Structure 1
Amino acid sequence: MAKKTNSLPWQDLLQSGNRIFIGSHAAAPQALLADLMAHAKNLHDIELVQMMVLGDNPWVEPGLNDLFKVNALFIGGDQVRQAVAEGRADYTPCFMSEIPSLFKQEVLPLDAALVMVSPPDELGYCSLGVSVDVVSAAVRSAKKVIAQINPLMPRTSGYTFIHQSQIHAFIEAKQALPQLDAPKLDAVTERIGQYVSMLVEDGATLQLGIGKIPEAVLRYLGNHKDLGIHSEVISDGVMELVRKGVINNSKKSFHPGKTVTSFCMGSQAIYDFVHNNQHVEFYPSEYVNSPTNIARNDQMVAINSAIEVDLTGQVVSDSIGHKFYSGIGGQVDFSRGASMSKGGKPIIALPSTAKDGSVSRIVPQISEGAGVVTSRGHVHYVVTEFGVASLRGKSIRERALELIRVAHPKFRKALLEQVRQHYWVPHYQKDYPKDVPELGNLGVKTLKIAGEEFDLRPLNPADERRLQEFFYSHTKETLLLRYNHHPKQMSREKSCTLVSVDQSRDLALCIVKQKGSILEIQAVGRYYLNDADQSCEVAFVTREKHQGKGMAKRLLLEMIEIARVRQLHRMLAYVRADNKPMQKVFEKAGFKRLRSGDPDEVFLELLLQPVEKQPQ
């Protein structure tokens, strides 16, 4: 092992005014930094460059202002956040994939790197352990490398090693790695996890962060198969799915068979899991976070969070107004990489509200002082506890309607009113999306019909163009059977009227086929409420290629159940006399024929509530 220069204390390798990098995440060399703070002597004005550091950050406290000033490339923890807010520390925004080049190209030249490593092996190689990320570039770019050799640091596989000859000074100090408590999940977070898991297909490769939403997503992936990991960070949730065989990396197109990451954080169990684990490989951030490398994974799903999203799809994730909160990190790297991946899906997942539900996180425009981290062009999906907004290929107006749909219901009306001021929606777009609670917590049901999977869900205002396409797909025969004449046009205004439904009163359901951002309506069923006698009139239309497969039956049964829950008295249907297939659908559901005054029309009725016996 390299010896201390001239037997002097290692601090003598430093000078006032130096720029020093300190190890990241769970690998900050706390003993080394404590030794520096205790024996700094006449050192002052040292710039400490750091990423997030898990655990205490005492070097950022006001009493050490003369010795240190922190330059955070990612803000982590209240101590650093407060110091940045008070001007005692700086925040430098940058993509995770590009931070290494700041060191290598001497945009931020490093005089020293203070890092934590494992003891050397028989060949003299130490491992950077649980945090390779930007630490790898720092130790290869800094003029001096000073290490804390920690026997509790795991030896990890991949590009994690530094030879003892590259270390200029060291101390040996045993230090338990800081642990991250498992987050406590609430109902909102779990619902978000369920929705995101529905976007993940078997065989996909995942990137997830740390926190409640990633853990909730992992919890709902237990029934998936052959998932892979290419992620800047892994946690206990990933480890559990590896042990269950859900994550086996067998279908990965880049590094098949390997979990690829750049750092890990969590309990002691995850640190034990990665120790000498040949199946988990750690690589530097410039490799893991390279959008080009990310895109080499087919079906790459990138799952990140945000502070707020505006109605055009712009994502704010590093600041709350003027107050900087975290950093850019790898969100843009992975959003871009996933969008370039074959079958990839960049996802932003966040609760619909903040401050105990008093503030919407889906906003008409971003807050004053807030900065856009991920552009409106990068995001394909935004997920809240109220559903999935699909943005790819959508106009600004369609995006606004999609995002209003997943906003909290109490803010939807105001969001539509506010967005109208900017002419993103036309005058005839009057109604905001409403949920159908009778469809269950998720508001969508997966159906298997003739060997294919479809979704049954409410129609909503964002379906305007899709419904118009659905209309123009029909043959003249279908239009005649549905409308009893040959309508020639379905204007956008008319289509808007048909999808802007007060679902608490009337009902409009559809069966859709969706693959990624491609959506096609296959069938639509409606009922219109008659207040006078609490009855409703039912109608259906199905795309020709699916007629006779049972879609109308599934829609009808769902609508009957909802009408019963809403305590309607009866359902009515008027069917052309020559539409025998539709008559059978109604009759099999229990509808009875009644006398009709029109020989060309069949009138059917289903009683929903027991008929009260008249007193004798």
Structure 2
Amino acid sequence: MAHALPPAPDWPSLIRSGNRLFIGSNAAVPNALVDHLIDNAGSLNDLEVVHILTLSDNRWVDPEYAHLFKVNTLFIGGDKIRNAIAEGRADYTPSFLSEVPGLFASDILPLDAALIMVSPPDEYGYCSLGVTVDVVLAAARHAKKVIAQINPSMPRTSGQSFIHLRDIDACIECEQALPELHTGELDEITERIGQYVSLLVEDQATLQLGIGKIPDAVLRYLGNHKDLGVHSEMVSDGIIDLMQKGVITNKYKTFHPGKTVTTFCMGSKQLYDFVHNNPHVEFYPSEYINSPVNIKRNHKMVSINSAIEVDLTGQVVADSVGYKFYSGIGGQVDFIRGAALAPGGKPIIALPSTAKGGTVSRIVPHITEGGGVVTSRGHVHYVVTEYGVACLKGKSIRERALELIRIAHPKFRNQLLEQVRAHYWVPHYQTQSPHTVHELGGLGMKTLDINGEAFDLRPLNPADERKLQELFYSHTKQTLLLRYNHHPRQMSREQSCALVSVDQTRDLALCIVRQKGSSVEIEAVGRYYLNDKDNTCEVAFVTRERSHGKGMATRLLQEMMAIARQRQLAGMRAYVRAANKPMLSIFEQAGFVRQSGTDPDEVLLLLALDPQ
């Protein structure tokens, strides 16, 4: 059954000077409709234009139309609008994306008209909002007039994405290719960030990702994961391959199981073709998808967002560079909070460690003047750079500062440690900034499977001070005697700090940790101390009681021997209590040879190395 289309817009009869108009979002900006308004505006003046991100030439913000339009954007996109805001020709209204529809519904920002783009109607008269539902549906529901551009190139998408012709007051028919967004080739830094983030994603997790190189890199390294789900403000090209390969199945989602759900998509024509009439990808409004209450209903919800800078207490700046507003709050806080509340959830901020060609650290001692906090220090559980993962949940200000310094660019670490003393208490004995052990590979860590359980092998670092102290107090008297040759009764924070503050370029201190979400426990520590006189090192180990006999000391020794060879050391030595039969066996199986000594209670073992 054919349905008659609404009439073409007679703008002076639809809107008046001073009205507030909404313009469609993201890849669904009705550019031809805006052009039609500009060309037929007549005596209209001072129209307030409200929108979020618009992937468009944004013609309405050009100075020549200043008499006709004044922009009030809820999310800044593109240099043209960014510059207009900086010059005072446009306004920025910060808002959580989940709350933007409420601004329209409650008449805080009442809409006189909504200018939207839709697909041609189906046989029942329903048009689809296509690639962008987000706040568009709310705008269409609450605006006094709905004026549409019917675009044959707009995909028909599933979910809550339809509007009937009877609810459209006027329209034009105009085909318009949807704008494509290509993020380009991934660089080494972005790839490394993607690798680290992928390590935090468990099988059967549900994902929220944004757009850009970092989300693309994360998706690239999820190819070996199983049964992932998607509940995201937006989706991009990266989901196509993972859905087709059966990596994203949505099988174990606990909210909208079996479906990828989103509010909009933005990417290539391939993506737009993929979502067209695809029942496995559903589009819903932002007040539904971005609701923290709904987000937290997904078990193992992983939220991945980026930032402009993060200070050493964990505060996240994401919408401004100093006083210059750059983007917007968007859905970051919605998803960070929702993921934090979800069972097994992980809120993650991922960003490169530097900006401006490596000259500026994005891990900062304090927020740049004029910068605004989008995500508070209490919201974020993980921060990821190309230098690793900082776990902030449950950490004190001092501990999180040390964690964040560890993932800052190495050339800024000492500077950050010194600067943080000016504002937050750091003990006088905390002098060593973290070092990377390059010999552990690009990630600077390894994942171990020990008796079917996953552990991380990584360098000991200053942020482990309290964890090492906990390990010490978990030992029995017998273990302490075998490790230290006496029964020490105390390990102060100062002593623990000295043991975790290691110049890893000279000495070596590795640990095996059990990490479940933000909970971290050290299971074993192995270290060596360099002896400059003969270019050898002395090796020692300690293992948590419950992990004895699991092979952790053997694995640590293997790694340390490999690193010692790469560093061209001549040999290794160990002093072991004669009563410590298991440790003697570990060294001898690795090729260490007992030496005769004068102390019957202690055994010296030596290993000559053939440097690589």
| TM bracket, shorter-chain basis | over 0.9
Match of 1:231, SS? strand
Match of 2:218, SS? helix
Match of 2:232, SS? coil
The C-alpha deviation readout for 1:32-90, integer Å capped at 9, x for no partner, is: 00111111111110011011111311111111111111111000011111111111111
Query: How do 1:175-186 residues align onto structure 2 when only pairs under 5 Å count?
Result: 175-186=176-187
Q: Which segment is superposed worse, 548-557 or 341-350?
A: 548-557
> What's the counterpart of residue 603 of structure 1?
604
Are residue 446 (structure 1) and residue 447 (structure 2) matched? yes
Structure 1 contact 308–317 (Cα < 8 Å) conserved: yes
- CA gap of 1:326–1:299, structure 2 versus 1, over 3 A, is same
> Which amino acid is the alignment partner of residue 352 of structure 1?
S
Match of 2:217, SS? helix
Q: Which segment is superposed worse, 301-310 or 274-283?
A: 274-283
Q: Give, in angstroms, the shift of residue 424 of structure 1.
A: 2.7
> What's the counterpart of residue 287 of structure 1?
288
Structure 2 contact 118–154 (Cα < 8 Å) conserved: yes
> What's the counterpart of residue 368 of structure 1?
369
Distance in 1 (CA, whole Å) between partners of 2:5 and 2:109 is 27
> What's the counterpart of residue 98 of structure 1?
99
> Which amino acid is the alignment partner of residue 41 of structure 1?
G
Distance in 1 (CA, whole Å) between partners of 2:263 and 2:99 is 14
Structure 2 contact 120–152 (Cα < 8 Å) conserved: yes
Match of 1:226, SS? coil
> What's the counterpart of residue 252 of structure 1?
253
Distance in 2 (CA, whole Å) between partners of 1:423 and 1:482 is 36
- CA gap of 1:104–1:573, structure 2 versus 1, over 3 A, is same
Distance in 1 (CA, whole Å) between partners of 2:69 and 2:10 is 19
Q: Give, in angstroms, the shift of residue 453 of structure 1.
A: 1.2
> What's the counterpart of residue 21 of structure 1?
22
Are residue 385 (structure 1) and residue 399 (structure 2) matched? no
> What's the counterpart of residue 141 of structure 1?
142
Structure 1 contact 2–168 (Cα < 8 Å) conserved: no
> Which amino acid is the alignment partner of residue 179 of structure 1?
E
Identical residues among aligned pairs (%): 72
> Which amino acid is the alignment partner of residue 597 of structure 1?
T
Are residue 467 (structure 1) and residue 468 (structure 2) matched? yes
Match of 2:429, SS? coil
Are residue 354 (structure 1) and residue 385 (structure 2) matched? no
How many residue pairs get matched? 610
Distance in 2 (CA, whole Å) between partners of 1:63 and 1:308 is 35
> Which amino acid is the alignment partner of residue 261 of structure 1?
T
Q: State the superposition RMSD in angstroms.
A: 1.2
Distance in 2 (CA, whole Å) between partners of 1:320 and 1:10 is 39
> What's the counterpart of residue 543 of structure 1?
544
Distance in 2 (CA, whole Å) between partners of 1:230 and 1:424 is 40
Q: Give, in angstroms, the shift of residue 596 of structure 1.
A: 1.0
Distance in 2 (CA, whole Å) between partners of 1:463 and 1:549 is 22
> What's the counterpart of residue 71 of structure 1?
72
Query: How do 1:322-361 residues align onto structure 2 when only pairs under 5 Å count?
Result: 322-361=323-362
Distance in 1 (CA, whole Å) between partners of 2:541 and 2:6 is 82
> Which amino acid is the alignment partner of residue 9 of structure 1?
D
Distance in 1 (CA, whole Å) between partners of 2:6 and 2:20 is 20
Are residue 404 (structure 1) and residue 405 (structure 2) matched? yes
Are residue 311 (structure 1) and residue 277 (structure 2) matched? no
Q: Give, in angstroms, the shift of residue 422 of structure 1.
A: 2.0
Distance in 1 (CA, whole Å) between partners of 2:10 and 2:312 is 57
> What's the counterpart of residue 613 of structure 1?
none
Distance in 1 (CA, whole Å) between partners of 2:329 and 2:582 is 57
Distance in 1 (CA, whole Å) between partners of 2:418 and 2:12 is 62
List structure 1 segments (4+ residues) > 6 angstroms apart after TM superposition.
Answer: none
> What's the counterpart of residue 84 of structure 1?
85
Q: Give, in angstroms, the shift of residue 4 of structure 1.
A: 5.7
Q: Give, in angstroms, the shift of residue 10 of structure 1.
A: 4.1
> What's the counterpart of residue 169 of structure 1?
170
> Which amino acid is the alignment partner of residue 33 of structure 1?
V
The C-alpha deviation readout for 1:198-246, integer Å capped at 9, x for no partner, is: 0000000000000000000000000000000000100000122111110
> What's the counterpart of residue 614 of structure 1?
none
Q: TM-score, normalised by structure 2?
A: 0.98
Structure 2 contact 6–168 (Cα < 8 Å) conserved: no
> What's the counterpart of residue 208 of structure 1?
209
The C-alpha deviation readout for 1:133-154, integer Å capped at 9, x for no partner, is: 0000000000000001111111
Structure 1 contact 11–36 (Cα < 8 Å) conserved: no
| Unpaired stretches in structure 2, ≥5 consecutive residues | none
> Which amino acid is the alignment partner of residue 215 of structure 1?
D
> What's the counterpart of residue 504 of structure 1?
505
Q: Which segment is superposed worse, 58-67 or 318-327?
A: 58-67
| Unpaired stretches in structure 1, ≥5 consecutive residues | 611-616
Distance in 2 (CA, whole Å) between partners of 1:502 and 1:396 is 23
Match of 1:545, SS? helix
> What's the counterpart of residue 588 of structure 2?
587
Q: Give, in angstroms, the shift of residue 11 of structure 1.
A: 4.9
Distance in 2 (CA, whole Å) between partners of 1:422 and 1:43 is 54
Distance in 2 (CA, whole Å) between partners of 1:445 and 1:598 is 38
> Which amino acid is the alignment partner of residue 48 of structure 1?
V
Distance in 2 (CA, whole Å) between partners of 1:210 and 1:8 is 35
> What's the counterpart of residue 52 of structure 1?
53
Structure 2 contact 5–165 (Cα < 8 Å) conserved: no
> Which amino acid is the alignment partner of residue 558 of structure 2?
L
Structure 2 contact 554–586 (Cα < 8 Å) conserved: yes
The C-alpha deviation readout for 1:426-475, integer Å capped at 9, x for no partner, is: 11111111111111110111111122111110000000000000000000
> Which amino acid is the alignment partner of residue 163 of structure 1?
H
Structure 2 contact 347–382 (Cα < 8 Å) conserved: yes
> Which amino acid is the alignment partner of residue 201 of structure 2?
V
The C-alpha deviation readout for 1:138-197, integer Å capped at 9, x for no partner, is: 000000000011111111111111111111001111111111114321000000000000
Q: Which segment is superposed worse, 51-60 or 249-258?
A: 51-60
> Which amino acid is the alignment partner of residue 468 of structure 1?
Q
Match of 1:309, SS? strand
Match of 2:248, SS? coil
Structure 2 contact 572–609 (Cα < 8 Å) conserved: yes
Distance in 1 (CA, whole Å) between partners of 2:12 and 2:258 is 44
Q: TM-score, normalised by structure 1?
A: 0.98
Distance in 2 (CA, whole Å) between partners of 1:394 and 1:601 is 40
- CA gap of 1:175–1:467, structure 2 versus 1, over 3 A, is same
> Which amino acid is the alignment partner of residue 126 of structure 1?
C
Structure 1 contact 379–392 (Cα < 8 Å) conserved: yes
> What's the counterpart of residue 227 of structure 1?
228
- CA gap of 1:2–1:115, structure 2 versus 1, over 3 A, is farther
Structure 2 contact 502–508 (Cα < 8 Å) conserved: yes
Match of 1:262, SS? strand
Q: Which segment is superposed worse, 159-168 or 343-352?
A: 159-168
Q: Give, in angstroms, the shift of residue 398 of structure 1.
A: 0.4
The C-alpha deviation readout for 1:82-138, integer Å capped at 9, x for no partner, is: 111111111000000000000000000000000001111111111111100000000
Structure 1 contact 315–374 (Cα < 8 Å) conserved: yes
Match of 1:269, SS? helix
> What's the counterpart of residue 32 of structure 1?
33
Q: Give, in angstroms, the shift of residue 609 of structure 1.
A: 3.5
Match of 1:479, SS? helix
Q: Give, in angstroms, the shift of residue 321 of structure 1.
A: 0.2
Distance in 2 (CA, whole Å) between partners of 1:120 and 1:456 is 58
The C-alpha deviation readout for 1:323-370, integer Å capped at 9, x for no partner, is: 000000000000000000000000000000000000000000000000
Distance in 2 (CA, whole Å) between partners of 1:3 and 1:15 is 24
Distance in 2 (CA, whole Å) between partners of 1:115 and 1:324 is 26
> Which amino acid is the alignment partner of residue 323 of structure 2?
H
Distance in 1 (CA, whole Å) between partners of 2:355 and 2:363 is 10
Distance in 1 (CA, whole Å) between partners of 2:172 and 2:15 is 15
- CA gap of 1:540–1:218, structure 2 versus 1, over 3 A, is same
Distance in 2 (CA, whole Å) between partners of 1:428 and 1:9 is 75
> What's the counterpart of residue 62 of structure 1?
63
Are residue 272 (structure 1) and residue 273 (structure 2) matched? yes
Structure 2 contact 11–41 (Cα < 8 Å) conserved: no
- CA gap of 1:222–1:456, structure 2 versus 1, over 3 A, is same
Structure 2 contact 11–40 (Cα < 8 Å) conserved: no
